[in-house]
Amino acid sequence: MSKPKIFITQPIEVSSLKRLQQFMDVNMHPDSSRSILKKDLVKGIRGCDYLFCRLGDIVDADVIAESPRMKLIVTMATAPAQIDLKEATRRKIPVAGRMVPREGTERDSIIEETADMAWAILMAVARGVVEGDRLVRAGVFPGPQSMYLLGSQVHGKTLGIVGLGNIGKAVARRARGFKMGVFYYSRSRHLDVEKELDVRHLPFEELLKESDFISLHPSYTHETHHLISSRELAMMKPTAFLINTSRGPVVDEEALIEALRSKKIAGAALDVFEGEPHPKLPVDVIAMKNVVLTPHLGSAVAEKREIMSNTVVDIFLGFLEGKRPGNLFNPEIYTQ
Query: Residue 288 belongs to a domain with what CATH number?
Result: 3.40.50.720
Q: Could you list the residue range(s) of the whole structural domain that residue 92 is in?
A: 5-101+304-331
CA distances to 119, 139, 242, 254, 293 from 289, in Å: 19, 17, 14, 17, 10
Same domain for 62 and 28: yes
Closest-CA residue to 153 (of 221, 65, 213): 213
Same domain for 144 and 73: no
pLDDT of residue 107: 57
Q: How many residues does the chain have?
A: 336
pTM of the model: 0.89
What would the pLDDT profile of 197-209 be if each residue is shown by its tens digit? 999 999 999 999 9
Residue 299 lies in a domain: no
CA distance 15 to 26: 14
Residue 336 lies in a domain: no
Same domain for 123 and 159: yes
pLDDT of residue 99: 77
Same domain for 277 and 135: yes
Same domain for 243 and 97: no
- Residues recognised as catalytic: 247, 276, 296
Asked if omega into 277 is within 30° of 0 (cis), the reply is yes
Helix, strand, or coil (residue 186): coil
Same domain for 311 and 287: no
pLDDT band at 75 (very low <50, low <70, confident <90, very high): very high
Residue 106 lies in a domain: no
What would the pLDDT profile of 265-321 be if each residue is shown by its tens digit? 999 999 999 999 889 888 878 889 999 999 999 999 999 999 999 999 999 999 999
Closest-CA residue to 111 (of 242, 244, 37, 217): 217
Closest-CA residue to 107 (of 271, 245, 309): 309
Closest-CA residue to 42 (of 25, 65, 24): 65
CA distances to 60, 95, 155 from 332, in Å: 19, 11, 51
pLDDT band at 104 (very low <50, low <70, confident <90, very high): very low
Number of compact structural domains in the chain = 2
Same domain for 116 and 86: no
- Give the β-pairing of 267-270 and 50-53: unpaired
pLDDT band at 101 (very low <50, low <70, confident <90, very high): low
Average pLDDT, the chain: 93
Same domain for 116 and 97: no
Same domain for 315 and 286: no
Range 82-95 average pLDDT: 95
